[in-house]
Amino acid sequence: MHLIDNTNSHADLVQSQLNTTDANYVKVYSLGNTAVIYTESAKAIGIALENHDRRVREDEIEFVVKRLAAKYEGSYTLTVDKSRHVVEIHIDK
């Protein structure tokens, strides 16, 4: 698995996040056909995994946590929608 930085292709999403939330850093990645949106503010980190074609797999969640939240591993909150197409990882700093 590889995270590919797609931030430049999602300028509207990034600008919207920066303008409407307390985020001071936003990155958008591709993990195959799963989109990964990493948002960081002074108090928290939010990572959203979204796949419209299939359920987000457990190994994808583990990979993203290892890559993007390694120093916070084990101290995060996981929120999953009923269909498991959207998974949110919330980490308090």
Q: Which residues pair with 45 in a beta bridge?
A: 40, 91
pLDDT band at 20 (very low <50, low <70, confident <90, very high): very high
Cβ proximity of 42 and 93 under 8 Å:
yes
- Supply the pLDDT for residue 18: 92
Position 93 scores a pLDDT of 81
For residue 79, give the CATH number of its domain. 3.40.1720.10
**How many independent structural domains does the chain possess?**
1
Give the domain range for residue 10.
4-92
pLDDT in tens, 37-47: 999 999 999 99
CA R_g for the chain: 13
Predicted confidence band at 27 (pLDDT cuts at 50, 70, 90)? very high
Residue 73: is its pLDDT beyond 70?
no
Instruction: Provide φ and ψ at 54, rounded to 5°.
Output: -155, 175
